[in-house]
Chains A and B, each alone.
Chain A
């Protein structure tokens, strides 16, 4: 049965008896009316308010019995005076005739607002669904400006599909204000790679800290509600300026760790979370949770080096031959050689040794060490933990190699897992792929992680997609994710294409989009686009985005530090986001770390 109800136009609307019409007051304050436009670009006439580029308006529409809320993003503004066709003439009269005024002008001062239609939300049964902009609002539909404090709940409800997830990035930005609508990335999409693009000073470090905290929160929630089957996320986070642990301003990840009870801390971070080249140089409070980065030469494979520096075909043939004959001792054997081996062109040995020299000098790549870290990294990543890796005292090459080794090791382990039906198969596969000495050290743990209820040979194995999602940061991405290196045997080429099979994703951090290899860009499904340095990067960013953000150039030009546009292929809506300061979110949440979830539940039971 349908009922007729009057609309504010005095026309009757037909509403489904079972559905409630939208309470338009919840949309915010009425701002203006739709003027000209089509389903992608719209012009709005609105009040003379302090509107900024980037604001999001909501347009209420009711056509053919379908109630919809269209979302519109301001991309351009123009002053408009009713009854005046030629503003320049008026302005020049005001200039020339010093006594001129404008009578009753306030009510005639309007803004002509142009922008993009982002899409629309409509109810599908009980749920709000968001769709791409393939429809148009009503003629002269009312336009609403969201008001923080009034519109938040309703917007959150309407955009839940588009904003909900596990890893918090920031709050939905509407102009210069934000709504209480958290924008999150679902953990299941992390293996499809995330890009963080922003120039120096755009707020990348703060964003990384907010993401790390959010991953910790996600893992904490999974721990506290084991029956809810929440995803755990592991993160290997490169900290190029040693900021994350101590913090940029007042607080850092260390404070999150310290705010936890001993038991919680152990569950969340295990024994350590901080990796550095020299633990002794670390502040005392962090040192408790720190480890020295020591990677054995035997844990390095030729591919790892091929991924970070260029080798000629002759050099790589020579290296592969050495690896085939010497196995894990290939590096020390090459460094010990004096003459070019038979068959290799003259000078090959010297050139290879020159490239390997940094391994000799590096404090983190060692021939032997009583406490190599790679195994511990593997365990941490398979148990849903975060690792903050201080690379400020490393050279670029050392940092890139570390990222590569960790990425390759974890992906080889999971590839072996994926290729196996039971633990027996897995052991065979892993032995083939990984350095023997490394696998021997981690085998027991690996079998425990990967076996479904047991460690016997015939125990079936887990699907990698049921294991924690692993995120690996690639900092200074153009240095290793450029077309030249990606053409070769780069570890990252495989991960780019196949990472999702193994539940491993890259977090690509870069100041430039234009120089990154297309393979990684085309596979990337989530982009957090911060302020960029120049027009070329803005253009590249827009071209690369997983959602159509053409026309957003103006917005990038005026973006402030800490503001971003989040685009994702699994969403229809590009989301403008304000990333809060880490200190702010920590202050807000620190009390939650203290409480043991169980104790809180008991309190309520009583």
Chain B
């Protein structure tokens, strides 16, 4: 098939070039092999029938989604264009800031199947904290701070840890809770949960005792133990458990930064500030929801701007907003777009009125683009902080100026040529924490080695899909 794929004029598509030869080759093959041979997936993909299936799918998308999009988007188009979309006023390349500042970023990685021993799954987590100095007075913009000084403040970097639980003995919740308690630096669960309540109720609930007499009163006993903060027990699959631990590990690293002497102006995290709420109890369904709000409160106290950046943003019509920005500001322009909620002047947008978590609870999302070559990304800010520092009631112009100042700095930290348009501290944190295939392979070997050292039997430990060579 590889040989066949090289024939034909280049003006035709690959399949168009290959098909005539393929069809005749297949005829010969069938005749030679008889009629009962199995077809491979590749053979199916190269058929006209598959092309027809695709045509139907794309037509469907066009009819159902894209046409509907035009109608829905039209409702918000003018407001987005006039009020919400703005161009970033960038710093010149040789800017000397009045005051240089530090930017911290945290990212995490890992695997939910470092090793599988019978029914026990061992997870591997890695987290990395990076702190950069804007350093505009030298040629080394956004230079990393001294590594040993950083590690003295926040511990060894990158950080790795392990978690285990059995997927079949109903211990997922218990083991998850144990790990979360170990990982997160704030051990008092009451102190952990209160920031959410303070923010969510606008200060009405300020202490544990204030829970009594409110809709949360009956849940108060559950709010004292980590295990009982884990509501989504039914869906504690390995990926879910892994996701929760990874997030907690990242949040733990952020807490260490916020509690340290580093004093960054910004702390960036990967992901959104969405807090998934229990449908009935109206508080976060998983401990990381509480952790995030704890961080937001701590950041505000320490005058740190906490931002969550996500490439995979699930904002509907982001492509249309980007197109509008290009038309309004020009092809290479850098821009941002506020995505208001129902409580903001003018209310929320129609394009996401049926989405529960856009905008996320207690967060303010923006869509932004600092690079013409990439699709727009999303950045979330703590709403309480935003209301105190960006939003000026009844003064949209002043609000806009605050937004521009904020995005000017965010754009300035997003010009590294390796990841142009994406905040460099986050990119470096990601590079630092990611585990390559080879890293994982070595980690698995070390698992075996350690087991041998400890005198345990050498059982198969690869993920189950590796069995039977499948």
Contacts and interface: CB of A to CB of B under 8 A. Distances in A.
A103 B92 contact: no
A45 to B, nearest CB: 16
Contacts of B424: 103
B48 interface: no
A104 B132 contact: yes
Interface stretch (B37-45, B58-66, B141-149): B141-149
A20 interface: no
Interface string B387-417: 0000000000000000000000000000111
Interface in A36-92: 81, 83-84, 90-91
Interface residues of A, number: 17
A93 B93 contact: no
A90 B142 contact: no
Interface stretch (A94-102, A235-243, A403-411, A574-582): A94-102
Contact of B428 (A84, A97, A103): A103
20 contacts: A81-B418, A83-B418, A90-B417, A91-B417, A93-B418, A94-B417, A97-B415, A97-B420, A98-B93, A99-B93, A100-B417, A100-B420, A101-B416, A103-B132, A103-B143, A103-B424, A104-B143, A104-B144, A104-B428, A107-B144
A106 interface: yes
Given A90-B418, A104-B428, 8 more contacts: A93-B418, A93-B420, A94-B417, A98-B93, A103-B132, A103-B141, A104-B142, A104-B143
A99 B418 contact: no
Interface residues on B, range: 10 to 19
A99 B140 CA distance: 13
Interface in B143-166: 143-144
Contacts of B132: 103-104
Contacts of B92: 99
Nearest to B144: A104
B238 to A, nearest CB: 30
B142 to A, nearest CB: 4
A100 B93 CA distance: 8
B420 A103 contact: no
A107 B140 CA distance: 12
B90 interface: yes
Contacts of B90: 99
Top 10 closest pairs, chain A to chain B, by CB: A103-B142, A99-B93, A100-B417, A93-B417, A104-B144, A101-B141, A103-B424, A90-B417, A94-B417, A83-B431
B420 A106 contact: no
Contacts of A100: 415-417, 420
A102 B416 contact: yes
Interface of B: 90, 92-93, 132, 140-144, 371, 415-418, 420, 424, 428, 431
Contacts of A91: 417
A93 B422 CA distance: 13
B415 A84 contact: no
B148 to A, nearest CB: 13
A484 to B, nearest CB: 53
Contacts of B416: 100-103
A107 B92 CA distance: 26
B421 to A, nearest CB: 9
B151 to A, nearest CB: 15
Contacts of A93: 417-418, 420
A99 B415 contact: yes
Contacts of B142: 101, 103-104
Contacts of B415: 97, 99-101
Contacts of A107: 144
Contacts of A83: 418, 431
Contacts of B144: 103-104, 107
Contacts of A90: 417-418
A325 B92 CA distance: 100
Residue among B144, B416, B424 with max Cβ neighbours from chain A (10 Å): B416
B335 to A, nearest CB: 16
B353 to A, nearest CB: 37
B93 to A, nearest CB: 4
A104 B424 CA distance: 10
Nearest to A92: B417
A83 B92 CA distance: 27
Contact of A102 (B371, B418, B431): B418
Nearest to B91: A99
A103 B103 CA distance: 12
